[in-house]
Structure 1
Amino acid sequence: MQLIDHGNATPRQVALEIIDNLDAHWGLDLRAIISNEALTENQRLKKLRARMLEAALSGIDERHVDMGVETLATPHDALIQSVLAGEDIETEPNVSVTQHNYDIICGYQGQDVYNYVFTLSKRLESMSKAQTPGQLAVETLSSSLFTVGTAWAKLTWNAWRGGQTLLQATRTGITSLGIKTVVAVVVIVLAAILLYLFLNNPKKILGVIYNNTDEVLVVNNWNQKGGDLYMEHGEMVNFMSDHEDGNLDSPLVQIRNRYFFAPNDPENVIFGGIYFADRNFGLRGSEGVMLFSSKSSDFRVAHQFAIPYTNDNGTNMRKIPPGPVNLSDLFRDMYNTRKTRVDTMTDGYRLLSTVNDPRGGVVGLVAAIGKV
């Protein structure tokens, strides 16, 4: 997996570079939307997604025929219409990677962590410009992703296990789900990352958490007071949420379980969720803890992150036994033992989390929950 070195570029500069590329490619003025301070951040995000998706779909046939498979109307069309109408949507799709790339990602430290999380936007930019299933399949594999979204992953993986090459299977997944739907999911993630990178607020974090277990993970009532997402300081701007098995009538979860055959099998696929947290006011940073719970067992893992205003950045991971948990106390305990990188083995699980640097106000994080 080759990384782009953005060590000398600020997140805002990375965002503007991509926005300028998209403006030139599609003939838009996305800068006017993303920089419009008369709009709230959420309003900017919805307008950005709508304009980007409208432009991306303009070069794709309404009824695209590829390899004899005709893309017809599906329930996923409702997602496209919601984005185009600038409505609220409830999904922030999972990304997925192969076992090979997952192993590489888990080894990232320092600048490589920063480069990985912040150049997701460059990879998604190339994918959003594709106008045929073949083009999108090539761009997806070039990006080192397996898919974006659980629905696309399921179709691609089934074709791959059926004997197709990975490139053929990626293309089959796109034609089966519909290229418009796939592009829509890519745009949903890309627009959110671009807005986050563009905003100049210090003390913010972009994190990617992978779930290499057989457990479907949820953060119960994460968007409600008293839920299993606790923010000591700052606010959660975007939080992972995707359909468990790809079908729109399946439950929303935070990170679905892996596709798994055997340890280190090259056809294993691991899913990850993306979150963005930001400072909201005053001399405070972005600090919090989220409690992941299995839907089918008492397995629980706490993931803590801290981008304080004055102290060192850090992160922590911990397996949590059954029973009541005071998240405020848990946060403080994990905060006091945070590190730039934690990598521990507990009861047959490998828990790791890494921030790119103990210093600086814009932080990248890669974490993983793995069954050994």
Structure 2
Amino acid sequence: MELSPTQTHLSDRQFAEQIMDSIRERHGVDLQAIFSNDALSERKKARLARVRLLEALLDEASQPGSGAVDLDAADFDEETALARMLDTEVDVEPNLALARGDANYLMSLRGDGVREYLTMLVKRFENMQTAKTPGQFTIELISSGLAGVGAPMTAEVLRELRAGQVLTAAIRNAITTIGLKTAIAAAVAVLTGLLRYMSLENPKKILGLVLNDTDEHLVVKDWKEGVDGTKAGDLYMHSGHMAAFMQDNERGLLSPRVQVGARVSYGPDEPDTIVFAGIYVANRNIGLRGTTGIMIFSSPSIRVAHLFAVPYFDDNGTYIGFVNEGEDIGKIYTDFYDQRQVSVARTERNYRLGANVNAARGGVVSCIASIAQ
């Protein structure tokens, strides 16, 4: 899906308002009122937006003559899945799953292409949340370059692929298994998170996507300790606040939690190889310090740091590279900040590392980073 000429010239906030106006008119849910309610914490805003929109969508879908089919799961713990998406850790974003070819395309994006893809994703998720059948939902996923959203759906997609299904059929069957209700809930979780980011009036903010094309799950240890500047884990905000962060299960609801899941490979040249990506959103606090920080992804084999920077007076930029266990995260931040660029592509220890922000200037920034074997 390409955005219309009128949409490409909108600011992020104007684009989000256009989407939210449509949601209010079609479903009676005023997301703008929720996001602008200063009496609510950011977590409460996120949870309320998810719950209100999902309730409205499911109520519409359950009405006679709605055309919705396969709403409920065939043999899947739907209640647990919905509870996790709506009632706990509402500042967490589920992983996105992509076919490797689409993941490679995202890794190649530069400049405005970075922002345009992430903006297009918002429009696709708006379409997904109103899907009436697993087939309609599948079309929007495939058109977005995605193979799944969240661990429950993706685990079923992988099961179908192993059974020999082609990707499109695997996705459709997976949605039927978990129920369209659960699939729509996953779409709502991502959509409301993206709209919250885009609608922020904050002039120094960043929306990031991190792709993991390796054979190991990546974690950011004790990331919750660092969302507001504490140096107690592998996420450190030098300035600003981490408003939403990636987290999902390795495979299915009962598996351990990670930041970005390991790829699932069916061979070196197999097009159905699945690569996972995680979303993060950061914005500035009061003052003139902008939004800058660093996160360290680790697995049994690697430890890679990714810097993102939307400073108030300096150029925007990013950097990515290997670091050692025990290094002070504040020093890593300073070293990487001094090396930041608009676009970074390098090979280190036989891994291909990349990170790209859309522009050196401007306060509304998009970033795509990648770690690949």
Secondary structure at the aligned position of 2:233 is classed as coil
Q: Which residue of 2 aligns with 1:96?
A: 97
Alignment counterpart, residue 317 of structure 1, candidates 316, 320, 326: 320
- Amino acid of the structure 2 residue aligned with 1:310: F
Q: Which residue of 2 aligns with 1:266?
A: 271
Whether contact under 8 Å (2:43, 2:90) holds in the other structure is no
Could you give the per-residue CA deviations for residues 35-55 of structure 1, whole angstroms, max 9, x where no partner exists?
A: 323333322222111111011
Answering whether residue 337 of structure 2 is matched by residue 335 of structure 1, we say: yes
Write out aligned runs for 1:139-288 (5 A).
139-224=140-225, 225=230, 226-246=232-252, 248-288=253-293
Deviation for aligned residue 1:253: 0.5
User: How many Å separate the matches in 1 of 2:120 and 2:110?
Assistant: 15
Question: Cα distance 1:76–1:300, how it changes in 2: closer, same or farther (>3 A)?
Answer: farther
Answering whether residue 32 of structure 2 is matched by residue 26 of structure 1, we say: no
User: How many Å separate the matches in 1 of 2:287 and 2:222?
Assistant: 27
Q: Which residue of 1 aligns with 2:358?
A: 356
User: How many Å separate the matches in 1 of 2:56 and 2:206?
Assistant: 29
Answering whether residue 58 of structure 2 is matched by residue 52 of structure 1, we say: no
Could you give the per-residue CA deviations for residues 15-56 of structure 1, whole angstroms, max 9, x where no partner exists?
A: 111111212222333332233233333222221111110112
- Amino acid of the structure 2 residue aligned with 1:228: D
Whether contact under 8 Å (1:217, 1:256) holds in the other structure is yes
Instruction: Compare 214-223 and 131-140 and name the one that shifted more.
Output: 131-140
Question: Cα distance 1:55–1:206, how it changes in 2: closer, same or farther (>3 A)?
Answer: same
Secondary structure at the aligned position of 2:60 is classed as coil
> How high is the TM-score relative to the length of structure 1?
0.91
Question: Cα distance 1:352–1:87, how it changes in 2: closer, same or farther (>3 A)?
Answer: closer
- Amino acid of the structure 2 residue aligned with 1:300: R
- Amino acid of the structure 1 residue aligned with 2:362: G
For these two proteins, the number of residue pairs brought into alignment is 363
Could you give the per-residue CA deviations for residues 183-233 of structure 1, whole angstroms, max 9, x where no partner exists?
A: 111111111111111110011000000000001100000111411001111
> How high is the TM-score relative to the length of structure 2?
0.91
Could you give the per-residue CA deviations for residues 290-320 of structure 1, whole angstroms, max 9, x where no partner exists?
A: 01010xx241110011110000000000012
User: How many Å separate the matches in 1 of 2:110 and 2:130?
Assistant: 31
User: How many Å separate the matches in 1 of 2:245 and 2:357?
Assistant: 18
Question: Cα distance 1:70–1:327, how it changes in 2: closer, same or farther (>3 A)?
Answer: closer
Whether contact under 8 Å (2:309, 2:337) holds in the other structure is yes
User: How many Å separate the matches in 2 of 1:218 and 1:357?
Assistant: 28
Q: Which residue of 2 aligns with 1:117?
A: 118
Deviation for aligned residue 1:329: 0.3
Q: Which residue of 2 aligns with 1:9?
A: 10
User: How many Å separate the matches in 1 of 2:11 and 2:235?
Assistant: 29
Question: Cα distance 1:264–1:13, how it changes in 2: closer, same or farther (>3 A)?
Answer: farther
User: How many Å separate the matches in 1 of 2:285 and 2:78?
Assistant: 34
User: How many Å separate the matches in 2 of 1:264 and 1:362?
Assistant: 37
User: How many Å separate the matches in 2 of 1:27 and 1:182?
Assistant: 21
- Amino acid of the structure 1 residue aligned with 2:260: I
Q: Which residue of 1 aligns with 2:297?
A: 292
- Amino acid of the structure 1 residue aligned with 2:103: Y
User: How many Å separate the matches in 2 of 1:316 and 1:82?
Assistant: 33
Secondary structure at the aligned position of 1:210 is classed as strand
Deviation for aligned residue 1:104: 1.1
Counting aligned pairs with the same residue, the percent is: 40
Whether contact under 8 Å (2:69, 2:133) holds in the other structure is no
Deviation for aligned residue 1:169: 1.2
Secondary structure at the aligned position of 2:272 is classed as coil
- Amino acid of the structure 1 residue aligned with 2:73: T
Deviation for aligned residue 1:174: 0.3
Whether contact under 8 Å (1:59, 1:131) holds in the other structure is no
Deviation for aligned residue 1:283: 0.6
User: How many Å separate the matches in 2 of 1:108 and 1:334?
Assistant: 22
Could you give the per-residue CA deviations for residues 348-367 of structure 1, whole angstroms, max 9, x where no partner exists?
A: 10000000000000100011
Secondary structure at the aligned position of 1:202 is classed as coil
User: How many Å separate the matches in 2 of 1:103 and 1:308?
Assistant: 29
Deviation for aligned residue 1:258: 0.2
Could you give the per-residue CA deviations for residues 135-186 of structure 1, whole angstroms, max 9, x where no partner exists?
A: 2112211222111112211211221342323222111010111211111111
Whether contact under 8 Å (2:211, 2:275) holds in the other structure is yes
- Amino acid of the structure 2 residue aligned with 1:351: L
